[in-house]
Amino acid sequence: MTAIKSVRGRRVWDSRGHPTVEVDVVLVSGAMGRAIAPAGASRGQREALDLRDGGTALRGKGVGRALHVVEQTIGPALLGVDGTDQAAVDAAILALDPSPLKATLGGNATVAVSLAVLHAAAAEVGRPLWRHVASVYDRVPSLPLPEVQIFGGGAHAGRRVDIQDFMIMVPGAATFDEVMEVTSEVYFAAGDIMASKGKLAGVADEGGWWPAFASNEEALEALVAAIEKAGERPGERVAISLDIAASEFGSNGRYRLALEDRDLATDAWIDLLGRWLDAYPILSIEDPLAEDDRAGMVAFTERFGARVQIVGDDYVVTNASLVDAAARDGACNAVLVKVNQVGTVTEAVEAFRAATRHDWRAIVSARSGETEDLSISHLATGLGAGQLKVGSFTRSERMAKWNECLRIQDTLGADAFVRGMPLADTWWGQGER
Ligand code: PGA
Ligand code: ZN
């Protein structure tokens, strides 16, 4: 038992230049932990709400109210609570705000405090965070398989294309280091291809190339071409992962493809996604249907769940009961874990545990608004979650997280890289392509 002595908040700024909440937690021993809340742009309806000041200043995104909650509400309630007992700390936070969306405290306040406590506890036992996480949650640590964005899109790129994330995975790599090397080659090959078409126009919110494409298919073709230009055969060592983020352009059973000026009903949209799965080496697809389209998600999973990873992000918002419900329905076969989506470390780990109970895969994920906070590299490794998604291969709020995994690799050993997605498991790995 080492009691919490102080909880202090401060306003810092995220990768989009918006204010966010940083929290310092100090235990009576003097051990200190610090964490910063990230921020999403394509947020699920059922995820924890960020407390923002509103009004005109700072585009309404001020965090004065959230900092007040940290110092005047959460902080006093945690004084004297055992900082090494994450479950007790998070329970004390939840007792202050039983609303499902953390509407009173704000998810930005709760996540920064909860993660800062986790860091303080690791400091208390003198361990790196990943090792502490593995021991607290009784997991075998492993270095995750990255999903790395090559082209941005959707809400992260002015809705230039409908699909939000065009990513690669390198499941055929033997080490985390090898993934980084292959990714670098593909990233710059993609940039060269954009440049040669006169379409190079900077980068989107998460550092992927700006998607100056005429259609979603053109982006997919460019991604395949980039993989080939990097000297790889698409679908062998390197494959494609998409975050459709369909809630951003679909609702009530209709999907509006703005670029092509087409409006598709759920069935036609699923057929189109199926044609993409046939035509391109896609290993993973996130939020293929809108979060309100339960029947669509079930139908999609029934049709394609055996051959592709189907990830629930907005669909389950890191919420254990929504993961359970989706598993009961037969929707999705993997979960995206974003701590700020649910608001505390304990609840995020519960969602992860629910997923593993259902034999789902899990991907620990950043948000599109990020900072230098490295917690997710440690969570992904310590939980042995299997996969990590932090955005692209530029911009330091992204690279810092990949680089932290390389530092962890030095201690944990290159062999601890998860080969979580054996190629033989996938339809295209079975020679059907
Ligand atoms: P967000 O997007 O952080 O803007 O919500 C990330 C994602 O959809 O995975
Ligand atoms: Zn997503």
Question: Under DSSP, is residue 135 helix (H, G, I), strand (E, B) or coil?
Answer: helix
CA of 432 to the centre of ligand 2 (A): 28
pLDDT over 70 at 428, yes or no: no
Tens digit of each residue's pLDDT (9 = 90 or more) over 346-386: 999 999 999 999 999 999 999 999 999 999 999 999 999 99
Is ligand 1 within 6 A of the CB of residue 41? yes
Tens digit of each residue's pLDDT (9 = 90 or more) over 294-333: 999 999 999 999 999 999 999 999 999 999 999 999 999 9
- Catalytic hit among 22, 47, 124, 206: 206
pTM of the model: 0.97
Is ligand 1 within 6 A of the CB of residue 368? yes
CA of 149 to the centre of ligand 1 (A): 12
pLDDT over 70 at 426, yes or no: no
Would you say how long the chain is, in residues? Answer: 433
Q: Residue 62 has which token pair?
A: 């001020």
- Catalytic hit among 5, 61, 102, 338: 338
Residue 28, CA distances (Å) to 3, 7, 35, 120, 205 in order: 6, 12, 18, 11, 40
Which ligand number lies closest to the CA of residue 315? Answer: 2
pLDDT of residue 99: 87
To the query of whether residue 338 is one of the catalytic residues in this protein, the response is yes
pLDDT over 80 at 423, yes or no: no
To the query of whether residue 102 is one of the catalytic residues in this protein, the response is no
Tens digit of each residue's pLDDT (9 = 90 or more) over 391-407: 999 999 999 999 999 99
pLDDT over 80 at 430, yes or no: no
Residue 144, CA distances (Å) to 239, 355, 402, 412 in order: 16, 16, 10, 12
DSSP-derived secondary structure for 181-193: HHHHHHHHHHHHH
- Mean model confidence pLDDT for the chain: 95
Q: Which atom of ligand 1 is nearest to the CA of 155?
A: 4
CA of 26 to the centre of ligand 1 (A): 31
Is ligand 1 within 6 A of the CB of residue 245? yes
Please count the other Cβ atoms lying within 10 Å of the Cβ belonging to residue 252: 8
Phi and psi at residue 24, in whole multiples of 5°? -110, 125
Is ligand 1 within 6 A of the CB of residue 40? yes
Q: Mean pLDDT across the stretch 268-287?
A: 97
CA of 129 to the centre of ligand 2 (A): 25
Element (H, E) at 156: none
Q: pLDDT-based confidence at 421, cuts 50/70/90? A: low
